[in-house]
Amino acid sequence: MWGKGLKPKKLAVAVRHAAFEDLGTFQSTLTASGYSTQYLDAGCDHLNPASNADLLIVLGGPISANDEAYYPYLRHEIELIEQRLSAGLPILGICLGAQLIARAMGSRVYAGPAKEIGFAAIELTKAGLSSPISELAGGSVLHWHGETFDLPNGATLLASTAICENQAFSVGTQAMACQFHPEVCDGRFERWLIGHHSELVSERIDIGHLRATEWGERDALRLRSDAFLKIWLAQLV
């Protein structure tokens, strides 16, 4: 039983595709906003607990949203997203998660003009200026993707970059999709540099420079990411 004046915590379920691509700084923001959190590891855990969760967060990962021939569980994720979108249940997609939301809404996911790896600012659309995404403006966010997607029908474009036009979109107030990574500012970025070592070397990315840039951006990005997520969570019904 809950004591007088206490409310049960809401449940946020995060679908994780790689151990080091987790909720990051979003974890503390969710806790402060009254959510308990549960991870489901894609391909290992059954997705049933996510069906009726108060919030579903689909995280990033190093695979393609089109890779269900290699990773059949991607089809189950897309079906879960379709169900939640149809029911109007809250969902947040990050990078691969954003691409899976786009696929669930009938859009193509395909190779972008170039890989986008590193820290850079996003350019807000008119709609983005009046959305929670606006809290992420005024500084850089982490980009780490080689694919992009067509803006789904019924979605509102919120942000772009020169390389990738569709960086963030919303569907009403209940669904938010970010191609970039606002959650990566929790002091554990070295896990990313180790986990993505082969890609960084093959793309001739200066690992030392990327590490130093994250260090310089970390505190400011943490504040902006916290504000972004708090405002978006507050508008959920």
Q: Which two tokens stand for residue 46?
A: 């059954």
- Catalytic site residue from 77, 183, 214, 217: 183
pLDDT given for residue 46 in this prediction: 94
- Catalytic site residue from 21, 77, 95, 217: 95
User: 110: alpha, beta or left, given left = phi > 0 and alpha = psi -120 to 50?
Assistant: beta
pLDDT given for residue 2 in this prediction: 43
pLDDT given for residue 197 in this prediction: 96
Residue with tokens 């942000």: 159
Rounded Cα–Cα distance for residues 168 and 212 (Å): 26
Rounded Cα–Cα distance for residues 40 and 177 (Å): 19
| CA geometry: angle 189, 120, 27, nearest 5 deg | 40
Farthest CA pair distance, the chain: 58
Q: From first to last of its 237 residues, what are the pLDDT tens digits of the chain? A: 444 555 668 999 999 999 999 999 999 999 999 999 999 999 999 999 999 999 999 999 999 999 999 999 999 999 999 999 999 999 999 999 999 999 999 999 999 999 999 999 999 999 999 999 999 998 999 999 999 999 999 999 999 999 999 999 999 999 999 999 999 989 999 999 999 999 999 999 999 999 999 999 999 999 999 999 999 999 996
Q: What is the pTM of this model?
A: 0.94
Active site residue 181: yes
Q: Which two tokens stand for residue 139?
A: 């500084």
- Catalytic site residue from 17, 143, 145, 181: 181
Query: Which amino acid appears at position 132 of this protein?
Result: P
Bridge-partner residues for 111, per DSSP?
A: 147
pLDDT given for residue 8 in this prediction: 64
Rounded Cα–Cα distance for residues 161 and 181 (Å): 14
DSSP 18: S
Contact present, 149 and 110 (Cβ < 8 Å) = yes
Query: Which string of DSSP letters, residue by residue, matches 161-193?
Result: -SS-S-SEEEETTTEEEESSBTT--SS-THHHH
Determine phi and psi for 133, rounding to 5 degrees. Answer: -60, -25
Task: Identify the H or E element spanning 222.
Answer: helix 207-234
3-state SS string over 193-221?
Answer: HHHCHHHHHHCCCCHHHHHHHHHHHHHHH
Active site residue 197: no
